[in-house]
């Protein structure tokens, strides 16, 4: 009994020390925390406050700013376009890059060269890439030239609905390599033995992919989707350099809108829209967080119960052996 007490106390001591160590870890974070706190988090509180006030910062107006934003035609269009862009280009890029990663994995010998070839578009600055895209898709550009050579009618690609497609092509071109490398890393972490075992039992390529590869790529898929999402907002650069502040309606994104509000010093609209965007993105992220946590728990749970079952079976076998003996 006495001994037990001592060990109990010792555990508390270790726990306390552990906590002290963990607090020390916070020291490493302080520079970063000061910066993000000072530049983003604290001023964002001010953004929230201002979103309920008149432009001068005085005079409470309730939700008027929010109503103004939601009733704004340009805002609705920009939200629609941004959502449409992300909904099309994210699945497209993720699927295409996964396919390329799987294919490239089969062409083993040249995969080093392959990777650099696919990654190179990342290194091309928007200002340079745009020169190429203009030569290609301008009214007098190469694509139209080629079409006319075949007797077809060209069109003004960048100043029509097609600008949207050009922008998607640009996004896929730029990010395919990055995502491919991410997928390849995920693919290479799957043990080869699993495929061999499955093939021995007569599984085909497709079955291997569906039942071995895909389930084990969940974590990679999350990270890849997240980073592609972040990069999705960056196409604004190409869009801006090609078409300026007011591009064709089909590619008028939230980023354009914010910029134009900023130039017109339309601060109330900006603050209200920023708050709404943060709430929506935060909500999505939080939902995702809760879901993954839930799945992880469940998986761990099944694993644990599996282990218990296994242990139970072993014990049974042992007992049987003993009774036999």
Is residue 103 at the binding interface for another protein, with CB under 8 A as the rule?
Answer: yes
**Beta carbon nearer to another protein, 128 or 305:** 128
Q: Which residue has the tokens 């010093």?
A: 265
Establish if 94 lies at the interface with another protein (CB under 8 A).
no
Does 247 engage in binding with another protein (CB under 8 A)?
A: no
The span of 68-76, 118-126, 191-199, 299-307 binding another protein (CB under 8 A) equals 118-126
Is 138 a binding residue for another protein by CB under 8 A? The answer is: yes
Interface with another protein (CB under 8 A), residue total 97
Among 107, 152, 197, 210, interactor with another protein by CB under 8 A: 107
Looking at 67-75, 196-204, 237-245, 317-325, which segment touches another protein (CB under 8 A)? 237-245
- Whole-angstrom distance, CA of residue 177 vs CA of residue 104: 11
Give the residue, chosen from 219, 299, 300, 303, that forms a contact with another protein under the rule CB under 8 A: 219
Secondary structure string (H, E, C) spanning 5-19: HHHHHHHHHHHHHHH
CA distance 316 to 321: 9
Q: What are φ and ψ of residue 60, in 5° steps?
A: -70, 130
The binder of another protein chosen from 173, 175, 248, 251 (CB under 8 A) = 173
Question: Cα separation of 87 and 198, whole Å?
Answer: 35
Binding part of the chain for another protein, among 2-10, 65-73, 274-282, 314-322 by CB under 8 A, reads: 274-282
CA atoms within 13 A of residue 93's CA, in its CB half-sphere: 32
What is the closest distance, in whole angstroms, from the C-beta atom of residue 128 to another protein in the complex? 4
Check residue 123 and report its DSSP letter: H
Of residues 282-311, those binding another protein (CB under 8 A): 282, 285-286, 289
Of the candidates 256, 248, 255, 249, the one whose C-alpha atom is nearest the C-alpha of residue 158 is 248
274 scored as a contact of another protein (CB under 8 A): yes
- Backbone angles phi and psi of 138, in degrees to 5: -65, 165
Residue length of the chain: 325
* Contact by Cβ (8 Å): 241, 130: yes
DSSP helix/strand/coil, 153:
coil
Counting contacts by CB under 8 A, is residue 29 touching another protein?
Answer: yes
- Please report whether residue 127 would count as binding another protein according to CB under 8 A: yes
The answer to the question of residue 243 lying near another protein (CB under 8 A) is: no
Q: Is 65 in the site for another protein (CB under 8 A)?
A: no
Q: What whole-number distance in Å separates Cα of residue 78 and Cα of residue 267?
A: 18
User: Using the rule CB under 8 A, which residue among 43, 91, 204, 312 binds another protein?
Assistant: 43
**DSSP labels for 99-112?**
HHHHHHHHSGGGHH
118 contributes a contact to another protein by CB under 8 A = yes
Q: Supply the minimum distance, in Å, between the C-beta of residue 1 and another protein.
A: 32
The residue among 97 and 248 lying less far from another protein, judged by its C-beta, is 97
Residue with tokens 């071109």: 173
Please identify which residue in 46, 196, 300, 304 interacts with another protein, judged by CB under 8 A. 46
Is residue 270 part of the contact set for another protein (CB under 8 A)? yes
> Interface with another protein includes 41 (CB under 8 A)?
yes
- Answer yes or no whether residue 150 interacts with another protein by CB under 8 A: no
Tokens of 138: 């301008």
**Hey, which residues does 60 pair with through a beta bridge?**
53
Among 3, 7, 22, 58, binds another protein (CB under 8 A): 22
Structure tokens at 89: 């280009």
């Amino acid at each position: 009994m006495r001994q037990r007490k001592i060990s109990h106390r010792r555990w508390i001591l270790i726990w306390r020390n552990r906590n002290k160590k963990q607090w020390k870890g916070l020291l490493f974070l302080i520079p970063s925390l000061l910066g993000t706190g000072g530049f983003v988090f604290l001023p964002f509180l001010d953004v929230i406050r201002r979103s309920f006030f008149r432009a001068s910062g005085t005079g409470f107006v309730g939700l008027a700013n929010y109503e103004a934003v939601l009733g704004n035609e340009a805002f609705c269009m920009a939200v629609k376009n941004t959502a449409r862009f992300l909904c099309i280009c994210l699945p497209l890029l993720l699927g295409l890059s996964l396919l390329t990663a799987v294919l490239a994995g089969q062409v083993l010998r040249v995969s080093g060269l392959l990777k650099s070839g696919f990654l190179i578009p990342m290194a091309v600055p928007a200002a340079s890439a745009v020169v190429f895209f203009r030569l290609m898709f301008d009214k007098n550009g190469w694509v139209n030239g080629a079409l006319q050579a075949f007797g077809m009618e060209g069109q003004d690609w960048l100043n029509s609905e097609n600008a949207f497609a050009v922008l998607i092509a640009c996004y896929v071109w730029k990010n395919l390599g990055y995502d491919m490398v991410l997928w390849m890393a995920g693919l290479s972490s799957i043990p080869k033995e699993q495929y061999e075992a499955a093939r021995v039992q007569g599984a085909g390529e497709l079955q291997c992919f569906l039942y071995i590869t895909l389930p084990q790529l969940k974590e990679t898929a999350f990270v890849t989707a997240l980073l592609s999402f972040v990069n999705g907002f960056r196409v604004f650069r190409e869009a801006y350099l090609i078409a300026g502040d007011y591009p064709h309606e089909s590619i008028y994104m939230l980023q354009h809108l914010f910029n134009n509000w900023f130039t017109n010093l339309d601060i109330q609209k900006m603050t209200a829209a920023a708050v709404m965007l943060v709430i929506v993105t935060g909500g999505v992220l939080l939902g995702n967080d809760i879901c993954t946590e839930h799945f992880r728990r469940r998986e761990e749970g099944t694993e644990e119960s599996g282990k218990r079952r296994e242990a139970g079976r072993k014990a049974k076998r042992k007992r049987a052996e003993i009774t036999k003996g």
